[in-house]
Structure 1
Amino acid sequence: MPSTSHSILIIGGGSAGIAAAASILKRRPGIDIAIVEPSDTHAYQPGWTMVGGGVFDVATTVRPMASVMPKGVRWIKQAAVSFQPEDNQVTLKDGGTVGYDVLVVAPGIRLAWEKIAGLTETLGQNGVTSNYRADLAPYTWELVQQLRGGKAIFTQPAMPIKCAGAPQKAMYLACDHWRRAGVLDNIQVDFRNAGGVLFGVADYVPALMEYVGKYGINLELGSNLVAVDGPARCATFATTSGEITVDFDMMHVVPPQVAPQCLADSPLAADSGFADVDQHTLQHVRYPNVFALGDGGSTPNAKTAAAARKQAPVVAVNVLRQLDSKGPAAGYDGYGSCPLTVERGKIVLAEFAYGGKLAPSFPTWLLDGTKPARLSWMLKADALPWIYWNGMLKGREWLAGPGGLIAQ
């Protein structure tokens, strides 16, 4: 028997888990919810690109977990280690178990640094950095400011990764700084992407290619980082024609990313390792009282905070209907957003749904997301962080109401 039990159990206190809890409580105040989350802090991860570009201070992107935990939710400060959906329970790291009527799986995605030989040992030194960690993003900005000539490499692994645009965002902000400092001509910039395209939604590629040309970036597709020798400042890449080793003065690395092990090893996992859910209702395909959202779900959308913001209300509606013995009534259309910071002060605002269909939040006369715009920068730098902390995590669903909704 579980040590304790709750009406709704949420695994993960990141953007998706907190937003889902807040959206549920907005609809049914006082309902019994527990969140399993071991971390002391909660991070606004989209801000780390801006930290690496010298725009944000990293301290503004992190807050105590207690400050974002919705009022009335029980916080279980533990890690989940296994799932027993047949018994409606989850096992925690301390050996205890927690039961549930409905489970919401939102554990995020795991950064698999160890899959690149030599990377873990050299991160944060020898010119090797990554905006995918809060403690390393300031080092990115240090390296960008220090580099006056030489070679800078920016990498991108195979999908899935969270925020597929982040690898090149780091590069464009660095190039813009070097251009303004008058040293860009002295720096060879490589973008080595394991994939076959610059960006997965074709409508945004022309604007991005203009900046690739403007900054003189050497674009290498089908080039996957497999090893780093930090002290020697060289990196090995697997390409279609074999492995090559390249020297660098600075390298921004994006690690391969996989489902958290406890999820991948569980009955909840799809072949990908992520929670096997219907891409519209976000309900598990085998366990009707299990839902998943955020980076830990199997849905074929871009893994972004914007996606979690749209998924949270859908999960909230469908979870409550499950508790009421009704079928799902809300649907997610695959929306994701990637504000591509092409220069300081301008952004290409990529917004798209399933199938690469464009899904703009604003009319094109006001904002054409396929072109770099100052208004998009203001949205990213000023509005979105505020909306995140004061809207999304509080259950306020501005421009994010659940789609496909029928009478509740």
Structure 2
Amino acid sequence: MGERHHQILIIGGGAAGIATASSLMARDASLDIAIIDPADVHYYQPGWTLVGAGVFRPESTARTLASLIPRGVQWIKAAVAGFSPEANALTLDNGRTLSYEQLVVCPGLKLDWAAIDGLSDTLGANGVTSNYRYDLAPYTWQLVQQLKQGRALFTQPPMPIKCAGAPQKALYLSCDHWLRAGLLGQIDARFYNAGAVLFGVADYVPALMSYIERYEIDLQFSHRLVAVDGPGKRATFVRSLADGSSETVVEAFDMLHVVPPQVAPDFIRGSALADAAGWVEVDPATLQHRRFANIHSLGDVANTSNAKTAAAARKQAPVVANNLLVALGRRKRLAHYDGYGSCPLTVARGKIVLAEFTYGGKLAPSFPSWLLDGRKPTRLAWWLKESILPPLYWRGMLKGHEWLAEPKLQPVGPAAQ
């Protein structure tokens, strides 16, 4: 197959890719843009936590990708096999070569299920589940309803992961159901966190700890899940000790909610675009690649230190759209991304701690504290998560409407230095 050229290529038709394409078209509908993605279905992944709690139906979180591609944007239904950034080109898995003027890289990340021995063989059976997969979130709710007594384990892998609060959300919503059903005293709920803290932004920890105590959760830090024996109902952890050594811990379970380790996609990790850890190397403010000026990246695959959430992509997409047009000579002022991320921590059915923060863990509330204090669990935050954020995603972010997400433009000239 011969070479085909596009002014702008976007790798990935997820939240970041669709939002960026829509933001670009809203600014200049004459642009020649193509999105590369092999998938048929686009998922609203933030909704899977509520599917796992019986609040959302799974089908409400899925739409065909074809229905979401912005008008005037071409969809190339293929996967990327490799990059030739010096030649402004890439290769698809079907052997075709595509060239570009500007490239946007946002294919998301890879859930590394295979990194946990035995996990792939038992997912969706033997009481082993995960809200990180569309087909498994309903099984989480089934298990929660069926469990009347026994031990329920919830795990969190080493960072970075997408939606760092999601492992806890499954824990809290499950415990809330058991509490309401009068079963919490018969269920031993345990949270095994590979990290050393409950949440990376300290301001939100007191509220979260109050629910750890309310549900009488056995909280274990420095435990990394390494193997699962589904039929035997046993989970194996490696526990890191203070002296730098480690030990193996084996725990029996009746229910196991797993969050897998997460890495950059294989075709990114082995490319010239990646940093030493495998993520796309960008300037954290402009989201422009540090070595290839006509490449931009956002979403989960970028090596920025923000929380990997849809809320982050919602803020990043307008920045990339603006700065790509600067690179094309159609705009003059660069925009900067401040690291904003949001994590609505569902601590109970009807209550959410709305964590919002920028780079360095600086709090960045969207609402005045008298209306909604994100450091405390509120019903208003639950209402936002359940009723406002889904339509904001489908009808706002993915359509190029930048409500509460307008990019911050930098001054032109010496003042910008």
**TM interval, short-chain normalised:** over 0.9
2:84 corresponds in structure 1 to: 84
Letter in 2 for 1:128: V
Shift in alpha-carbon separation, 1:158–1:172, aligned structure 2, 3 A: same
- The answer to whether the Cα contact below 8 Å between 1:79 and 1:92 also exists between their aligned partners in 2 is yes
Which 5+ residue runs of structure 1 have no aligned equivalent? none
1:192 corresponds in structure 2 to: 192
1:391 equivalent among 377, 392, 396: 396
- The answer to whether the Cα contact below 8 Å between 1:2 and 1:99 also exists between their aligned partners in 2 is no
1:277 corresponds in structure 2 to: 282
- The answer to whether the Cα contact below 8 Å between 1:322 and 1:328 also exists between their aligned partners in 2 is no
Superposition deviation, residue 30 in structure 1: 2.5
**1:161 and 2:166 correspond:** no
Superposition deviation, residue 322 in structure 1: 0.4
1:379 corresponds in structure 2 to: 384
Superposition deviation, residue 405 in structure 1: 4.1
RMSD (Å), alpha carbons: 1.3
1:268 corresponds in structure 2 to: 273
SS at match of 1:291: strand
Aligned 1:100-139 pairs, distance under 5 A? 100-139=100-139
Letter in 1 for 2:133: R
Q: Distance in 2 between matches of 1:141 and 1:343?
A: 14
- The answer to whether the Cα contact below 8 Å between 2:333 and 2:411 also exists between their aligned partners in 1 is no
**1:256 and 2:270 correspond:** no
Q: Distance in 2 between matches of 1:273 and 1:402?
A: 27
Q: Distance in 1 between matches of 2:2 and 2:172?
A: 51
1:400 corresponds in structure 2 to: 405
Superposition deviation, residue 210 in structure 1: 0.1
2:57 corresponds in structure 1 to: 57
* Seq. identity, %: 62
1:176 corresponds in structure 2 to: 176
Aligned 1:1-150 pairs, distance under 5 A? 3-150=3-150
Superposition deviation, residue 404 in structure 1: 3.3
2:323 corresponds in structure 1 to: 318
TM-score (norm 1): 0.98
Shift in alpha-carbon separation, 1:128–1:14, aligned structure 2, 3 A: same
Shift in alpha-carbon separation, 1:395–1:326, aligned structure 2, 3 A: closer
SS at match of 2:315: helix
Deviation per residue, 1:226-254 (Å, 9 max, x gap) = 00000000000000240010000000000
2:207 corresponds in structure 1 to: 207
Aligned 1:325-340 pairs, distance under 5 A? 329-340=334-345
Q: After the TM superposition, which parts of structure 1 deviate over 3 Å for at least 4 consecutive aligned residues? A: 325-328, 404-408
Superposition deviation, residue 117 in structure 1: 0.1
Letter in 2 for 1:114: A
SS at match of 2:289: coil
SS at match of 1:341: strand
